[in-house]
A and B are shown apart, each in its own frame.
Chain A
């Protein structure tokens, strides 16, 4: 029965995160880490960061970290429950608002709400980045890799996959 309870917790957690993720998946990273690591104690901070890195290294939406967390906690059923719980509430909302959104595209209130939400999105995204960095940056070599990758993303059109590959090679050589 405890397995069902675990699946229930996963569904509850990711269902809530789905509706909280205003401005994209990464805005709920701090909350996901808080719940998974601090509240539920399902894994350690570095483990969570490793799963996030795995999700980044694979193709597809980066919110696949939910698939991995679910899988780590409760196997294949956990992976499916976590992923679907993360997608279903927001997808339903999108489905039902898509046509209304199109109709009100010139309305003033729509633009005001959109503008008001931008600072929230930015603050939450930066918090997500800070929480991840806290888990992964343990020495100056790591910090340098993180900063170089961020700068490359900002100032070049390099495919991020090359950056991931380069960092993985540095790690493999024991330089990090």
Chain B
């Protein structure tokens, strides 16, 4: 991309980080990540596309909500602890206010049939979004029978047998890493 090849301007201040992520948080309907990349790489040119992807890879590998981790990693690279706090607060502030306002509205009018119907629709669509996103992320496993088998075991343990997540992960994750190590592609 032409727009990504031009020079890099790291954020000038913690305030710039805060405002950038505030905007991302406000825009991020149905997934924040695309908006974050657009702002960081294409619009404000804080870092190059590959640098952003590298930070994202770390955040997918670490536990926790990915995009929130991205804000912390990116903020800290430029401005240390203060930068991490500025980016994180910017990302979370506006969405938290909006979601609580929606919650208040929902609670007050939850008894109204029209509102109930509305939320049946929203809930069905939300399930569809989660299903679609999961399938997107699952797609690269198509070529790996072992990977599919491991994913099915994790799925069954949690969704079918309803095992608690912590012990399940403590057993399955090391096993999966071990198998990845024994069977390099």
Contacts and interface: CB of A to CB of B under 8 A. Distances in A.
Partners in one complex: yes
Interface residues of B, number: 96
Interface in B106-163: 106-107, 114, 117-138, 140-141, 144, 146-155, 157-159, 162
Contacts, number: 357
B176 A117 contact: yes
Nearest to B116: A171
Interface string B41-74: 0000000000000110111111111111100110
B39 interface: no
A151 B99 CA distance: 26
Contacts of B81: 95
Interface string A59-85: 111111001100110001001000100
Contacts of A130: 155, 159
B20 interface: no
A94 B59 contact: yes
Contacts of B30: 56, 159-161, 164
B61 A169 contact: no
A149 B128 contact: yes
Main secondary structure on A side of the interface with B: helix
B128 A148 contact: yes
A54 to B, nearest CB: 5
Contacts of B11: none
B98 interface: yes
Given A20-B165, A116-B176, A172 B130 contact: no
A171 B124 CA distance: 9
Contacts of B154: 119-120, 122-124, 127
A60 B96 contact: yes
Interface string B23-46: 001111111100000000000000
A16 B169 CA distance: 13
B121 to A, nearest CB: 2
B109 to A, nearest CB: 12
A103 B180 CA distance: 22
Given A117-B176, A146-B124, A31 B118 contact: no
B55 A160 contact: no
Contacts of A145: 121, 124-125, 128
A56 B180 CA distance: 34
Contacts of B178: 116
13 contacts: A20-B63, A59-B32, A60-B98, A61-B91, A97-B58, A121-B60, A122-B151, A146-B124, A150-B129, A152-B132, A160-B29, A171-B124, A176-B124
Interface of A: 16, 18-26, 28-31, 34, 46, 49-64, 67-68, 71-72, 76, 79, 83, 86-87, 89-91, 93-95, 97-99, 101-102, 105, 112-133, 135-137, 142, 145-154, 159-161, 163-164, 166-174, 176
